[in-house]
Amino acid sequence: MLEVSQCIICNGTDFIPYKNGLYGIHIYICTNCKLVFTNLRPDQNELLEKYGSDYYSHWITPKQQLRRQKLWQNRVKVVKRVMPSGKLLDVGCGEGLFLYRAKNAGYDISGVEISGFAVQYAKDNFGLDITKTTLEDSGLQENSFDIITFWHTLEHLSHPEITLKKAYHLLKPGGHLFVAVPNIHDIIGQKFYRLINGYYFQIYTSDSKEPHLYHFSYITLKLLLEKNNFRVVRLGPDFCQVDPYWKIIEKISYYVSKLFGKDWYLSILAVARK
């Protein structure tokens, strides 16, 4: 297990348990910039083991694939409104559904993914040639992409600041970065979860199926992007739920947030420019 010694945003070293440990004993917050993160996290080899066939088994059922097709089609529409065409790189592209949709929409696509299972699945089912690697080790040419996407990938990374620095160099001048992450200030969703289950949602445990290492808010995501020289041009809600029950909660969260002028959405979407 690895311990965080310095904040990736402000370089601070003063951390305290987040919400007194209500959301997990290994969840801490930087007292300076308020970045929330998982401490005592798995090392890289342990993380790789988590992204095998068991991790993807839920996502690749026929029912889920059908639900997720619409999600990824909507993602493509989000990108098209900003960049109608160009070279697109998806980081942490999983089983490849977004890239498949983006390719059909006319984009010149590339993808990197650390899961060997997901890379093979994308090739067998969608004919995609995804590279099994991290972005840092990809060997991709600098200033070669118009669009780079991180769809709920950044929170899984041990060093998102290093990955974002690499992404900045890979983008062409004027290129766009799309980042979607869960929102640590998702108060509505967390309250529904507690109401239904009778206990607080545990953001991370040692046996978590979703090993999220960083937990961003609107402010900390913007700070991290700006630290890596990106200019944030849009920051708003990300609509990513595919389960009918959670889609309702997502809508409730959206309207309550708008009503009170708060950032309580379930997830965040940031669009930034080089």
Asked whether the beta carbons of 17 and 36 are under 8 A apart, the reply is no
- Residue 208 pLDDT exceeds 80: no
What mean pLDDT, rounded, does the chain reach? 93
pLDDT grade, residue 21 (50/70/90)?
confident
Phi, psi of 23 (to 5 degrees): -100, 15
Q: Give 215-266 pLDDT, tens digit per residue.
A: 999 999 999 999 999 999 999 999 988 888 888 999 999 999 999 999 999 9
Q: How far is CA 65 from the centre of its chain?
A: 19
The answer to whether residue 32 is domain-embedded is yes
pLDDT grade, residue 2 (50/70/90)?
confident
Q: What value does the mean pLDDT take over residues 16-20?
A: 91
Q: Give 50-68 pLDDT, tens digit per residue.
A: 888 888 888 788 888 888 8
Could you tell me where the DSSP H helices lie in the chain? 44-50, 53-56, 62-82, 97-104, 116-126, 160-170, 187-197, 218-227, 244-260
The answer to whether residue 231 is domain-embedded is yes
The answer to whether residue 147 is domain-embedded is yes
Predicted local distance difference test score (pLDDT) of residue 1: 67
Phi, psi of 26 (to 5 degrees): -105, 15
- Residue 207 pLDDT exceeds 80: no
Residues 6+ apart with CB under 8 A from 207: none
The answer to whether residue 212 is domain-embedded is yes
The answer to whether residue 33 is domain-embedded is yes
Q: Give 132-188 pLDDT, tens digit per residue.
A: 999 999 999 999 999 999 999 999 999 999 999 999 999 999 999 999 999 999 998
The answer to whether residue 8 is domain-embedded is no
Asked whether the beta carbons of 161 and 228 are under 8 A apart, the reply is yes
Between 58 and 273, the more confident residue is 273
Q: What pTM did the predictor assign?
A: 0.94
Instruction: Give me the domain span that covers residue 135.
Output: 15-273
pLDDT grade, residue 82 (50/70/90)?
very high
The total number of structural domains that make up the chain: 1
The answer to whether residue 203 is domain-embedded is yes
Predicted local distance difference test score (pLDDT) of residue 23: 78
The answer to whether residue 38 is domain-embedded is yes
What CATH number is given to the structural domain containing 96?
A: 3.40.50.150
